[in-house]
Structure 1
Amino acid sequence: MKKIAVLVPCYNEELTIKAVVEDFKKVIPQADIYVYDNNSKDNTAQIAKEAGAIVVPEYRQGKGNVVRSMFRDIEADCYIMVDGDDTYPAEDAYRVAKVVLEGKADMAIGDRLSSTYFEENKRPFHNLGNKLVRMLINKIFKSNIKDIMTGCRAFNRTFVKSFPVLSKGFEIETEMSIHALDKKFLIGEVPIAYRDRPEGSESKLNTFADGFKVLKTILNLYKDYKPLSFFGIISLILLLLSGGMFAPILIGFFKTGLVPKFPTLIVAVGFLVCALVSFACGLILDTVKKRSDQFYEIALNMIESNKNR
């Protein structure tokens, strides 16, 4: 029987954590349930422990830091990660995990947006943010993932032990999705039900502050994972600016034989040089990225080899 670990990052979830732990114990009695308490100011840790979870403190604040510790510490064949706010039914999370257990995906996503999310979630800017992030990532990485930022996921051991967690906070879900796309992991999607937080339970997300962090993460990962495309776009913009400034000067020169706007010409040449430098940076970093991908594949082979021993 494959070993299953349920990972629950938590911060001030005393109203819901008992229900989360008990539901998973009923649905997946053979699973180990880990609650990583991220400096909660309430009784989250105590309630989780009394409910039967393995409680571990994580003193570095932020969901990304919690996930980093979970992935390093816990050994399992299948990992189920859910939030501690009781918004994801345990039955649906197990259906997501089955896709991984059956070998059909390295990372399986619980797709909220195709079911009840927009009906249950009463925060319109959250809904808009989910749509915007989904559109950006699918456009940039030429994919068709329906729910980029879901908190309900399942992973196999290879994904968990080879995923370099860089984010500190809630942008970790976006990082996971982009990493899986870039490294060509097999991604599965399962529509799941979503229910809003119960009365009295408050979201830790700041719509605008965390939204900007997610957009910044997308931009940084776009630069890191697709440097030729990223710097190529910058180069094209600079080239167009240079051409737009140089064209009137060139036309005037053909008509009069004079160059009356030397400052404009100097700026146009400067933009042209910057465009060439940007494109050269993209070419160099693209070569570095391909080399990095080769080493990553070797590391994956080593992980698989150690697992099968």
Structure 2
Amino acid sequence: MDPIFILSDKERNIHFKEIVHFYNVILGDANNSADGNHFETIRCCIIDYKDPEETVSAANAIRAFHPQLPLLIITDMKSAVHDKHLLRITGVGGIRLLHWNANYPDKLLTDIQSLLHPEYPAQSAHIAFVLSVYNEEERFAYVESFCRKLQEYIRTHVIEGSLYLIDDGSGDRTIELIQTLEKDTTLSINRINRDVSPLLNAKELGRNTRKAGTYLEGMKEIEADYFVFVDADDSFFIEDIARMINIVRLGYYDMITGTKDTSAENRPLVRIGLSFCKRLMIKPFLPEGVIDSQTGLKVLNSIAVKRLFPHLKENLGLAVDLEMMYIAKKLRLRVLQLPVACIDREGSHIHVWKDSIRFLKSIADIWRLDRRIR
């Protein structure tokens, strides 16, 4: 039987051993939650504390020893665990939030099943990871490394997920390299949904659009429940991506966007100064709580993608990120911004001064073309 570790203050009086009787239940408490010996064989952990702060502490104590261990967090309407608590939980393993109702104890079983078996057909959702690539021949080692990390994350935690590398009109051998990577990638897991795309897909846009066209191509051609738009140069970390996916799948937000303005490593002072000036100018265009539109990491649900797509314009280039934020604000989508770790890689295709001038012009275009959207 699959061993399941349970941490509980027993305030909700949940009879775990009776409800999940066909699992090997190991009961613990806050005093031994940090003992790494418990996590050598267990498959998932249930955390049942009334106090949300105790929940976060226990979750992080567990994740310190086993960052990939799936967590089922039990809460209720009176002492609810919110996104502000979930954002503080570390690790890359899946997280599910169960609002406990004693009248529906079997919901506990369903959620355990979905954690232990991500391919569980009633719970699985397809996640599309869309990576824009452009003239990456000299930096392809970064692209290949990032794809390997994402593939491992998909195989372990997502199952019904695929990578889409969209070439933005490269003038070097980038398209050949990603097509070779596609041919060399095999799916080593059995998916319930036979209609999903292969694990890795190489697509060629045929023209350079400064990223905007790759967003539109992904939104138009890919069928998925969730979309992850992320730079391909291995500048972002899987833990941050997993955290954003875990949050958006809870249903509280339509879009989660990252910001690296306060966390990027190796960032030139010029870019820091320009980013500060841009934030001041674009503030009226951004949803409440969002301070930065240009960080290349976003997670959207399919509803947000369908509502944004008709309004996005390919000729805006890099400013398409700002247009997404502005349209999301006009359409009153639920948007959350999170700080993410980032490494600015050498060889970036951003031309600081030239692109800054284009961006200023794009701000005026976005206001002129999109201000009447309702």
TM-score by length of 2: 0.56
8 Å CA contact retained: 1:171, 1:210: no
8 Å CA contact retained: 2:289, 2:336: no
In structure 1, the residue matched to 2:128 is 5
8 Å CA contact retained: 1:17, 1:48: no
Deviates further, 36-45 or 187-196: 36-45
Any idea what SS the aligned residue of 1:2 has? coil
Any idea what SS the aligned residue of 2:203 has? strand
CA RMSD of aligned residues (A): 2.0
In structure 1, the residue matched to 2:203 is 56
Structure 2 residue aligned with 1:16, among 121, 142, 157?
142
8 Å CA contact retained: 2:286, 2:325: no
Q: How many residues align?
A: 223
Q: 1:182 to 1:128 in 2, by over 3 A?
A: farther
What is the CA–CA distance in structure 2 between the aligned matches of 1:58 and 1:178, rounded to whole Å?
25
Matched, 1:39 2:169: yes
The C-alpha deviation readout for 1:115-167, integer Å capped at 9, x for no partner, is x21xx143223222222222222245574413221100000111112222214
What is the CA–CA distance in structure 1 between the aligned matches of 2:320 and 2:342, rounded to whole Å?
20
Q: 1:222 to 1:39 in 2, by over 3 A?
A: closer
What is the CA–CA distance in structure 2 between the aligned matches of 1:208 and 1:92, rounded to whole Å?
29
Q: 1:8 to 1:88 in 2, by over 3 A?
A: same
Any idea what SS the aligned residue of 2:141 has? coil
Amino acid at match of 1:90: I
Consecutive unaligned residues of structure 1, counting only runs of 5 or more, are 227-288, 294-309
Deviates further, 77-86 or 88-97: 88-97
In structure 2, the residue matched to 1:158 is 303
Any idea what SS the aligned residue of 1:129 has? helix
8 Å CA contact retained: 1:93, 1:110: no
8 Å CA contact retained: 1:96, 1:189: no
Q: 1:158 to 1:195 in 2, by over 3 A?
A: same
Q: 1:92 to 1:60 in 2, by over 3 A?
A: same
In structure 2, the residue matched to 1:177 is 325
In structure 1, the residue matched to 2:367 is 222
Computing the radius of gyration over CA atoms, which structure comes out larger, 1 or 2? Answer: 1
Any idea what SS the aligned residue of 2:347 has? coil
8 Å CA contact retained: 1:133, 1:148: no
Query: Which has the higher relative contact order, 1 or 2, with Cα contacts under 8 A spaced 6 or more apart?
Result: 1
8 Å CA contact retained: 2:285, 2:325: no
What is the CA–CA distance in structure 2 between the aligned matches of 1:36 and 1:141, rounded to whole Å?
27
In structure 1, the residue matched to 2:227 is 79
In structure 2, the residue matched to 1:149 is 294
Q: 1:6 to 1:61 in 2, by over 3 A?
A: same
The C-alpha deviation readout for 1:166-185, integer Å capped at 9, x for no partner, is 14321111111111112211
Pairwise CA distance, 1:96: 1.4
Identity, % of aligned positions: 23
What is the CA–CA distance in structure 2 between the aligned matches of 1:94 and 1:141, rounded to whole Å?
24
Pairwise CA distance, 1:225: 4.1
The C-alpha deviation readout for 1:99-125, integer Å capped at 9, x for no partner, is 2211121110112123x21xx143223
Deviates further, 159-168 or 53-62: 159-168
TM-score by length of 1: 0.67
Q: 1:141 to 1:21 in 2, by over 3 A?
A: closer
Q: How does 1:209-248 map to 2 (within 5 A)?
A: 209-226=354-371
Amino acid at match of 1:26: E
Any idea what SS the aligned residue of 1:54 has? strand
The C-alpha deviation readout for 1:269-303, integer Å capped at 9, x for no partner, is xxxxxxxxxxxxxxxxxxxx3xx52xxxxxxxxxx
Any idea what SS the aligned residue of 2:227 has? strand
Amino acid at match of 2:252: K
What is the CA–CA distance in structure 2 between the aligned matches of 1:50 and 1:213, rounded to whole Å?
37
Matched, 1:204 2:349: yes
8 Å CA contact retained: 2:289, 2:337: no
Which structure shows the bigger proportion of residues in helix conformation?
Answer: 1
Amino acid at match of 2:164: Y
What is the CA–CA distance in structure 2 between the aligned matches of 1:70 and 1:206, rounded to whole Å?
25
Q: 1:216 to 1:91 in 2, by over 3 A?
A: same
Pairwise CA distance, 1:76: 0.5
8 Å CA contact retained: 1:97, 1:154: yes
8 Å CA contact retained: 2:287, 2:329: no
What is the CA–CA distance in structure 2 between the aligned matches of 1:202 and 1:140, rounded to whole Å?
30
8 Å CA contact retained: 1:39, 1:61: yes
